[in-house]
Structure 1
Amino acid sequence: MTTIGVTFDSTGLTLAGNLYLPGAPVAGPRPAIVVGHPGSGVKEQAAGGYARRLAEQGFVTLAFDAAYQGESAGEPRGLEDPAQRTEDIRAAVSYLAGRPEVDPGRIGVLGICASGGYALAAAATDHRIRAVAGVSAVDIARQFRYGADGVQDPAVLQQLLDAAATADVPSFPLFPETADQARALGPHGYEGWEYYCTPRGAHPRSARTLTWSSIARIAAFDAFHAVNLIAPRPILLIAGRAAVTSWMSVTAFQRAAGPKELHWIDGATHVDLYDKDPHVTAAVAKLTEFFGTSLATADGLETAA
């Protein structure tokens, strides 16, 4: 397998990505998969891990940093803009479609965490995306409105919007400083801190703050609004049985109109599916089966259905 650092344009911003090319030669162009990273993540973390493992299965894969994040361009740094994030996925599809190794009629998208929601939003209106999958998929707007577990008081978002309107600093921290403070947030809060703030998954370019200007953009977004438009193209959602965020995968699945599957990984939490085995191995096996079928041919709709 070969890994190549690449750049491409997204609405005038230069995005940085890693392109993974399978090692075994084949006759003709290959199917390809765009892989999007979680909110605050970068291409070298969970997205890169999935992209590498799927390339080992014969797909050309592209993991990239969203605009304003990682090695990609855009100011202010750390901005989470759902509309831009959705455009970034479309731009990644355009980049892959122009690669000589890629069959432009066989491109899929995989989104992890927040990118799972963005992938669904992009696929709803971009028919070049022939199949879409999410791992621990969330709609970032629902997470801010209702919390990761879906039971947060809606007043919390209103308070955030008030704070954003009057903030005298550009950003606020996403994670507490210590393990004890993280444990006080509960298991989901702690596992996020452990992944992003310890040697387990920490990366120097991964954002540990969020700009206050992100809040209004997030609040008005709905990743699942047009998910029914994806039909008849297939959808796969992979969620951990122990993930507090799994209700969002259920919501997206219920709204989808065409070929769809909600696949459960027993014993896995939300963040377990970023990097922990045997959970990631099980997810990759399911993704390989899904994309192998749905991207088998350029007219793979009949195959997938």
Structure 2
Amino acid sequence: MNRTDVTFDSAGISLAGHLFLPERCGTAPLPAVVVGHPGTGVKEQTAGTYAARLAERGFATLAFDAAYQGESGGLPRGLEDPAQRVEDLKAAVSYLTTRPEVDPGRIGMLGICASGGYGIAAAAGDHRVRALATVSGVDVGRQFREGADGTQDPAVVQAMLDAAAAARTAEAHGAPAGTFPVFPATAEEAWAAGGRHGGEGYEYYCTDRGRHPRSATEFTLSSIDRIATSDQFRFVGMIAPRPLLIVQGTEAATKHLGELAFADAREPKELHWIEGASHVDLYDRPQHVGPAVDKLTEFFTAGLAAE
């Protein structure tokens, strides 16, 4: 497997990516997969893990940093803008169509965590995406409104929207962009506030398990109202008749979100369970990532077959 650093444009913002190619490409153009990272991730983390593993299985793959984050451009830093994230995925497809190694008629998309929802929104409107898969996919707007497990007190998001409104007013008067931390200060706080889902998220992003210096540790407050009023799953039915695969862990706090997307999707569709895996287990645990990659390989091999 070979990796090349690349850049491409997304609505005027330069995005940084890693293009992975199989060790032996031959001369025939390859099927390709765009891989989107979780909401706080960067291309060097789980998105890069899946991209590299799929390249080993014979696909050209592209993992990249979202606008305003990682090595990509855009100001203010730490902005999470659902509309831009969807545009970034479409821009990645556009970039792959320009690569001589890629068959432009055989491009798929894999969204992990937040990019699962963004991938649904992108693929619904972009018919160049021939097959879509998600791993631990979530609708980040619904997650903000209802919490990871759907039981969050509605007052929580209302308080966050108050903070976002105050920040926008302060910025209009010349203040710098206000931010909020993505994770609590300690592991103990993360486990207490977010249970297993929050604790494992902290463990992945804030310890040597998965930490990366460019991974987002805070978002701008102006991200909040953008996220809270977004609905990534709304048009999942428009993906058909292109195939959809939803991969979820049986122990994931967010598994109900995958079930919701699956219920609203149209055939051909498949909900595939990874036994014993939590949401974050599917980021990097070999015993869970391995079976997920096997299923993704099967799915994209069929979905991106030459016509």
Whether TM-score is above 0.5 comes out as yes
Name 2:35's counterpart in structure 1.
35
Q: Superposed, which structure 2 residues align to 1:95-110 within 5 Å?
A: 95-110=95-110
Q: Superposed, which structure 2 residues align to 1:250-261 within 5 Å?
A: 250-261=259-270
Moved more, 178-187 or 224-233: 178-187
Name 2:74's counterpart in structure 1.
74
Say which SS state the counterpart of residue 184 (structure 1) adopts.
Answer: helix
AA aligned opposite 2:238: L
Name 2:197's counterpart in structure 1.
188
Is contact 1:40–1:78 with CA below 8 Å preserved after alignment? Answer: no
Deviations 1:119-156 (A, max 9, x none): 00000010000000000000000100100001112221
Name 2:88's counterpart in structure 1.
88
Separation in 2, partners of 1:133, 1:180: 34
Structure 1 residue 28: Cα displacement: 1.0
How many residue pairs match? The answer is: 298
Separation in 1, partners of 2:155, 2:236: 27
AA aligned opposite 1:276: R
AA aligned opposite 1:35: V
Q: Superposed, which structure 2 residues align to 1:234-273 within 5 Å?
A: 234-273=243-282
| Stretches of structure 1 lacking an aligned partner (at least 5 in a row) | 300-305
Say which SS state the counterpart of residue 286 (structure 2) adopts.
Answer: coil
Structure 1 residue 178: Cα displacement: 1.5
**Percentage of matched positions with identical amino acids:** 65
Moved more, 82-91 or 183-192: 183-192
Separation in 2, partners of 1:273, 1:234: 21
Deviations 1:233-289 (A, max 9, x none): 000000000001011100110111120000000100000000002100000000000
Aligned pair partner of 1:292 in 283, 287, 301: 301
Separation in 2, partners of 1:24, 1:3: 13
Separation in 2, partners of 1:95, 1:138: 25
Separation in 2, partners of 1:179, 1:157: 23
Name 1:144's counterpart in structure 2.
144
Name 1:302's counterpart in structure 2.
none
Name 1:13's counterpart in structure 2.
13
Separation in 1, partners of 2:46, 2:191: 22
Separation in 2, partners of 1:193, 1:225: 29
Separation in 2, partners of 1:25, 1:254: 38
Is contact 1:240–1:268 with CA below 8 Å preserved after alignment? Answer: yes
Name 1:155's counterpart in structure 2.
155
Aligned pair partner of 1:215 in 196, 202, 224: 224
TM-score w.r.t. length of structure 2: 0.95
**After the TM superposition, which segments of 4 or more aligned residues of structure 1 sit over 6 Å from their partners?**
none
Is contact 1:230–1:258 with CA below 8 Å preserved after alignment? Answer: no
Given the alignment of the two structures, is residue 177 of structure 1 paired with residue 178 of structure 2, yes or no?
A: no
Say which SS state the counterpart of residue 6 (structure 2) adopts.
Answer: strand
